[in-house]
Amino acid sequence: MVIEHLIPTVLEQRITTGSAHYAWRRLLARYGEQPPGPAPRGMRVLPPPQVWRMIPSWEWHRAGVDRARATPILRACHRAARLEEAAAMALPDAMARLQLIRSSVARRGVAG
């Protein structure tokens, strides 16, 4: 799943590893889902993109995630299905798809 790799990668940008891990743990503890079956106490799995999109701005801030990192995560979650499709395409087709996604964001006036 593209989002599973994208979110922690974005969280790790321009900050220390410890700060990124704190943000990841805090957001997962608050919004992550209980894994199916028996699991260690407190273990959480990545919530679906719809849940990430509903996280209020103050929760991102409390987790130490600035707007410059939260915004691309939210954009990616909004287009998660398209990103998944692109991951299964041949490279030239995937690149074309990704450029279309970025173009559609720019046309709506959202910096991207």
pLDDT digits over 31-69, tens only? Answer: 999 999 899 998 999 999 999 999 999 999 999 999 999
Kindly state the percentage of the chain with pLDDT values over 90: 75
> What confidence category does residue 111 fall into, taking pLDDT thresholds of 50, 70 and 90?
very low
pTM, two decimal places: 0.82
| Boundaries of every domain in the chain | 2-78, 79-112
- Residue identified by tokens 């991207």 is 112
Q: Which residues are bridge partners to 45 per DSSP?
A: 33
- H runs (alpha helix) in 1-110: 2-11, 17-31, 49-53, 57-62, 67-78, 80-87, 91-107
Above 90 in pLDDT, residue 99? no
Average pLDDT over every residue of 85-108: 78
Who's near 73: CB < 8 A, 6+ residues apart?
6, 7, 10, 11, 52, 65
Average pLDDT over every residue of 22-37: 95
The answer to whether residues 28 and 46 touch, using CB atoms and an 8 Å cutoff, is yes
Mean pLDDT for all residues in the chain: 88
Is 2-78 a domain of CATH 1.10.340.30?
yes
Above 80 in pLDDT, residue 105? no
Above 90 in pLDDT, residue 110? no
C-alpha to C-alpha distance for 63 and 74, rounded to whole angstroms: 15
The DSSP secondary-structure symbol of 35 reads: P
